[in-house]
Structure formats: structure tokens, C-alpha cells
């Protein structure tokens, strides 16, 4: 396996792990989506509320399929 693939796999795993932690946190969904939006804004990524909800749903579906 190429070193770049290993790095990308590690970063992808870290992202999915962080997303899972947020999604399974004992908080309301609205609060979780707000936290995701705030985190993305801090990183310079701007998404509309509907896009954040789509992102959260996509992550949840991916986690459920595994």
C-alpha cells in the first residue's frame, strides 16, 4: 500500500470517528447539527442548514450500513 493511501485512510478514519462521536453524543439532533455547522465554519467551510442536515444524514446512514 502506498504511504499516501495509508495517510488518507487514517484521516478518513479519524473523520468518521469524530463524526460518529458527534452523532451518538447524548444531545438533541438540532444541537448536534449546530455543533457540526459551527465546527465547519471554524474550518472555513460554509454550508446551508439543509446541507448540514444532509451531511449528518449521510454520515448516519454510512455508520448504520457498517
Are 56 and 36 in contact by the 8 Å Cβ rule? The answer is yes
Per-residue model confidence (pLDDT) at position 56: 76
Cα separation, 46 vs 55, whole angstroms: 13
Cα separation, 17 vs 15, whole angstroms: 5
Blockwise average pLDDT, block size 10, the chain, 66 residues: 82 85 74 78 79 78 74
- Global pTM value: 0.38
Amino acid at each position: 500500500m502506498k504511504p499516501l493511501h495509508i495517510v488518507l485512510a487514517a484521516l478518513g478514519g479519524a473523520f468518521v470517528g469524530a463524526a460518529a462521536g458527534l452523532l451518538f453524543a447524548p444531545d438533541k439532533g438540532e444541537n448536534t447539527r449546530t455543533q457540526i455547522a459551527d465546527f465547519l465554519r471554524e474550518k472555513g467551510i460554509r454550508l446551508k442548514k439543509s446541507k448540514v442536515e444532509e451531511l449528518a444524514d449521510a454520515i448516519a446512514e454510512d455508520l448504520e450500513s457498517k
